[in-house]
Structure 1
Amino acid sequence: MVCTEPLGKSAVYLLISKGNNSHYNQGVEFKMNTAGFDVFFLTMGAAMVLAMHAGFAFLEAGTVRKKNQVNALVRVITDFGLSTVAYFFIGFAVAYGINFFAPVSQLNSIGGISNGYEMVHFFFLLTFAAAIPAIISGGITERVRFWPNAMATVVLVALIYPFYEGMIWNGNFGYQAWLEANFGAAFHDFAGSVVVHAMGGCLALGAVVMLGARKGRYGRDGRVQAILPSNIPFLALGSWILCVGWFGFNVMSAGNVEGVSGLVAINSLLAMVGGLLAALVAGKNDPGFVHNGALAGLVAICAGSDIVHPIGALVIGVVAGAGFVMGFEFIQNKLKVDDVLGVVPLHGGAGAWGGVAAGVFGSTALGGAGGVTFMAQLVGTLTGVAIALAAGFVVYGVIKKVVGIRLSEEDEYMGADLAIHNISANPEQDMVNH
């Protein structure tokens, strides 16, 4: 099979040779619209990122106590459903000015691209948007009320996240033009170190602070009381699912077949490995740190995965993995903030580091592709962090004041599984035991 001209937006010509047989030497020529390739490409990417939500669910289910496993699983999948509706009717339009209130004949060619490309583009970007409540879920788990949390999910995915998303990925409000005029380049965030992860992690900080620590987490003398995870294999499974899906998250952020780059794949791989090895050493072989360290590396490389040198990606991952371990211990032990899965350092800290690091390791001086400046990356990152911190405290603070966001002490002691869902993770076994 020979491609007779480069992939383009219009068409691809394929010449299929049938070998040396004289009956087939003329070949057969086909003309294909590349929009179909792009739709298929992005659908596969969306499916991979959708699978990452199973990773979020099992990572959380393995980290929480047994009495809260069902609640963790239900909240993650329910948040995805709520996010879909919120982003479909409001969020996508806020970010990109596109809505789907039109006949199918028009939906199939929104933006002048055939085959319904913008509809699958929505699906792909939705999976990013839905990562926001999935990230927050890990911080607030084991003591949050179900429906107040659902209210927060709708607000964040419909309004807060797409507000910043549109600024960065659609140039809304002239923000990117302003950065370029003042700092020599626009803010570069290829796959969402800041747009998705720092945003989710910093939003989670407000939620966790508004909720307060789990009962028994900190003693009256201020000492940290260990609350052990329920299932290390589940935790590990969640991390592995996330790691695999992340290659759809990063590589397919190109948006089309023509823009896909092997550089993004190898950079994601090396950052992941750097993160897990650094966390292995810094975390003294702790399995929770190791499996989350891999994720910290992947979070950090999202922004510059298409422009940094692979060795730079490895360094970015190492810093992210070690930083996660130190950040987790600082927040839990020094600040006494009960962030159960460590989402603030994992997504907020590593995401912010990734945004800034793209401005360092993406420079041509360090073997990168260029097109970025340190100041543009710093200002763009700080803007996202500031919006998320403010929104997290405001949204969860208002919900706390109006309807309350925390389970009663009795329900928390019983566990969210029985208190909210009336069933445990192992109901048949529990019946036998009783």
Structure 2
Amino acid sequence: MSVTASQVHGAVQTLTQSSDTLFLLLGAIMVFLMHAGFAFLEVGTVRHKNQVNALVKILADFGISALAYFFIGYWVAYGANFFADAQTLSQGNGYELVKFFFLLTFAAAIPAIVSGGIAERARFYPVLIATFFTVGLVYPVFEGMIWNGNFGLQAWFENQFGFGFHDFAGSVVVHGVGGWIALVAVIFLGMRKGRIRAGKHTNFAPSNIPFLALGAWILCVGWFGFNVMSAQTLNGISGLVAMNSLMAMVGGIVAALLAGKNDPGFIHNGPLAGLVAVCAGSDLMHPIGALVTGSIAGALFVYLFTYLQNKTKIDDVLGVWPLHGVCGAWGGIAAGIFGQSTLGGLGGVSVAVQVLGTLAGITVALVGALIVYGLIDKLSGLRLSEEDEFNGADLAIHKISATNED
């Protein structure tokens, strides 16, 4: 029995589609696992009386994020919906469905980022309502502008500067937007009770360093799915992305080690700062450029977090604004700098566009968050009562503590 050329072509196409679907599914699972990292990072940082709340928030936020992104957000960003029969949806081995899952894990990172900033004093259901609108509307607006060409921003950049805004894996689109949204939420909530004593700032020590470290490790491992699998096809996979992610992570570790003076909290957040910053240009930079990018991000996090905690009234519990907001913005700009061929990068990127695109992301995040959190704060309030905050979110909201001792 002879095999025709069309049969061979069809078999190859089927194999390619199924391989790409499996590749992206594994990426989605790796990024989904990162949400456990967010949870344990927060559990290890907050005080014991707020540990249950940290765990519940991350999982509840994911559930609300999935609904918001399925019914609204994905349509806003990509003009696609799932109101077709299952046979239609499953065409091409269901690649488009797995693509949704992968991009959902990115979208759900927004409330996971915010959660760390607003910990220990936020009301539960008002925050879930904010999650619905930030994931359903605010985040997808900028996501669609950058990754789908919506509203003509990318076309304008290309016409004016010759290049579009480059953000391969979301330094600005995901982390920057999430971090700047978190800043607004943190400011609305105000400082935790007891932070100012005798006119001086008092910092609450992390409750569980092993949990904090576990969260950081889970995030570091998952990040290789976040970055490498942003190629979305096996054909597009790049060892350069993996290498640059590794070097930026290492740069963040070493910078935080030196700047943070051996503090375990800083050392475990340093690699995360480096990984946030390299997302945008991980497919363009030379590994040495990625190392420098991650090192600057690690130092930025240490110095900014220290300044916020000791000199301002911005009570960002996990330092998510410096880690994701500032390091994400730095990553967007760094892609324009270290992506240049003169610095060993692959080229095809403009520093001016990277600055303007980063500012656009910050603007969308700030305006969207001001509307969402401002309205919720006005209508229902965002903060726990003083008594509930004193007792802890675990007992006040969930009626149980993390450790029930006889």
TM-score for both structures, normalised by structure 1:
0.90
Aligned match for 2:203, one of 226, 231, 247: 226
* 1:98-141 Cα shifts (integer Å, max 9, x gaps): 100000121123xxxx1111100000000000000000000000
Aligned match for 1:252, one of 209, 225, 229: 229
Which structure has the highest helix share of the two?
2
* 1:231-286 Cα shifts (integer Å, max 9, x gaps): 00000000000000000000000010000000000100000010011001001000
Match of 1:310 in 2: 287
> Where do 1:15-34 residues align within 5 Å?
32-34=14-16
Match of 1:115 in 2: 93
Match of 2:43 in 1: 61
Match of 1:51 in 2: 33
For 2:16, give the aligned amino acid. Answer: T
1:184 CA drift (Å): 1.9
* 1:164-221 Cα shifts (integer Å, max 9, x gaps): 0000000001110101111220000000000000000000010000000000112352
Aligned match for 1:343, one of 320, 328, 334: 320
CA–CA separation in structure 2 for the residues paired with 1:348 and 1:218: 25
* 1:267-316 Cα shifts (integer Å, max 9, x gaps): 00000010011001001000000000110000000000000000000000
The structure 1 segments of at least 4 consecutive aligned residues displaced by more than 3 Å after TM superposition are 10-13
State the secondary structure of the residue aligned to 1:228: coil
Aligned match for 2:144, one of 166, 178, 196: 166
CA–CA separation in structure 1 for the residues paired with 2:329 and 2:304: 13
CA–CA separation in structure 2 for the residues paired with 1:11 and 1:332: 60
State the secondary structure of the residue aligned to 2:93: coil
For 2:108, give the aligned amino acid. Answer: A
Q: Are 1:294 and 2:240 matched, yes or no?
A: no
For 1:198, give the aligned amino acid. Answer: G
1:32 CA drift (Å): 4.6
CA–CA separation in structure 2 for the residues paired with 1:300 and 1:346: 9
Q: Aligned pairs, how many?
A: 398
> Contact conserved, 1:46 with 1:124, CA < 8 A, in 2?
yes
1:155 CA drift (Å): 0.3
Aligned match for 1:185, one of 137, 153, 163: 163
Match of 1:217 in 2: 195
Match of 2:76 in 1: 94
Aligned match for 1:267, one of 228, 235, 244: 244
Match of 1:149 in 2: 127
CA–CA separation in structure 1 for the residues paired with 2:366 and 2:256: 26
Q: Are 1:358 and 2:335 matched, yes or no?
A: yes
Match of 2:351 in 1: 374
State the secondary structure of the residue aligned to 2:252: helix
CA–CA separation in structure 2 for the residues paired with 1:47 and 1:259: 19
1:336 CA drift (Å): 2.2
Match of 1:390 in 2: 367
CA–CA separation in structure 1 for the residues paired with 2:188 and 2:238: 42
Structure 1: which 5+ residue stretches go unaligned?
Answer: 1-9, 14-30
For 2:247, give the aligned amino acid. Answer: L
TM-score for both structures, normalised by structure 2:
0.97
Aligned match for 1:195, one of 150, 155, 173: 173
Structure 2: which 5+ residue stretches go unaligned?
Answer: 1-8
1:12 CA drift (Å): 7.0
CA–CA separation in structure 1 for the residues paired with 2:14 and 2:129: 45
Match of 2:307 in 1: 330
CA–CA separation in structure 2 for the residues paired with 1:272 and 1:386: 28
> Contact conserved, 1:184 with 1:376, CA < 8 A, in 2?
no
For 2:331, give the aligned amino acid. Answer: G
* 1:356-389 Cα shifts (integer Å, max 9, x gaps): 0000000000000001010010000000011112
> Contact conserved, 1:217 with 1:225, CA < 8 A, in 2?
yes
